[in-house]
A and B are shown apart, each in its own frame.
Chain A
Amino acid sequence: MRADAGAVAAPPVAVAAEGSLRSRARQAPSSFDLDLDVFDGPFDLLVTLILRDEIDIWEVRVSRIIAEYVLKLADSGEFDLDATSQFVVLVAALLEMKSRLLLEEDVDEDLEDLDPDEAALQLLERLVRYSQFRNAAGAFRVRWDEHAARLYRNAAVPPELLRRRAPDGALAAACLADALTPLLREPPVPDTSHLADLAVSLVKELRRLRLILDDTGEFTFAAVAPPDRLERAVTFFALLELHSSGEARLRQTRHFGDIVVSRIAVPLPVAG
Chain B
Amino acid sequence: MLPLARRLEALLFISPRPIATDRLAQACACPEDEAAAALDELRAEFVAGSHGIELREVAGGFTFAVADDCAEDVRRLTGAERPDELTPALLETLAVVAYLEPVTRAEIAEVRGVSSEWALGALEERGLVEQQGRADTPGAPILYGTGERFLKLFGLASREQLPPLEEFSLSAGEVDEIRSRLHANAERRGQ
Contact = CB atoms under 8 A, between A and B. Distances in A.
Interface of A: 1-2, 4, 6-7, 37-41, 45-46, 49, 54-56, 58-59, 116-117, 119-120, 123-124, 126-141, 143-144, 146-155
Given A37-B105, A38-B105, A148-B154, A135 B168 contact: yes
A131 B140 contact: no
Contacts of A37: 105, 141-142
A128 B169 contact: yes
B21 interface: no
A46 B65 contact: no
A124 B174 CA distance: 11
23 contacts: A6-B106, A37-B142, A38-B141, A39-B141, A45-B139, A117-B186, A123-B182, A128-B175, A130-B112, A130-B113, A136-B98, A136-B99, A137-B95, A144-B91, A146-B155, A147-B153, A148-B82, A148-B83, A150-B71, A150-B155, A151-B75, A154-B17, A155-B16
A267 B107 CA distance: 73
B183 interface: yes
Given A41-B139, A124-B175, A144 B154 contact: yes
Given A116-B190, A150-B152, A150-B155, 10 more contacts: A49-B138, A55-B138, A123-B182, A124-B182, A133-B95, A133-B99, A140-B154, A147-B153, A152-B63, A153-B12
B154 A59 contact: no
A143 B155 contact: yes
B22 to A, nearest CB: 19
A124 B184 CA distance: 13
Contacts of A116: 186-187, 189-190
B66 interface: yes
A134 B93 CA distance: 9
Interface of B: 12-13, 15-18, 53, 56, 58, 63-66, 68, 71, 74-75, 80, 82-83, 86, 88, 91-92, 94-96, 98-99, 104-106, 109-115, 134, 138-142, 152-156, 163, 165-166, 168-170, 174-175, 178-179, 182-183, 185-187, 189-190
B128 to A, nearest CB: 10
Contact of A130 (B106, B111, B190): B111
The listed residue with most B CB atoms (<10 A of its CB), out of A6, A46, A59, is: A59
Given A132-B168, A133-B96, A148-B83, A59 B113 contact: no
A140 B12 contact: no
Contact of A133 (B141, B155, B168): B168
B179 A120 contact: yes
A29 B83 CA distance: 51
Given A143-B155, A147-B155, A152-B152, A2 B113 contact: yes
Closest 8 CB pairs of A and B: A147-B155, A155-B16, A116-B186, A135-B168, A39-B139, A120-B182, A137-B91, A136-B95
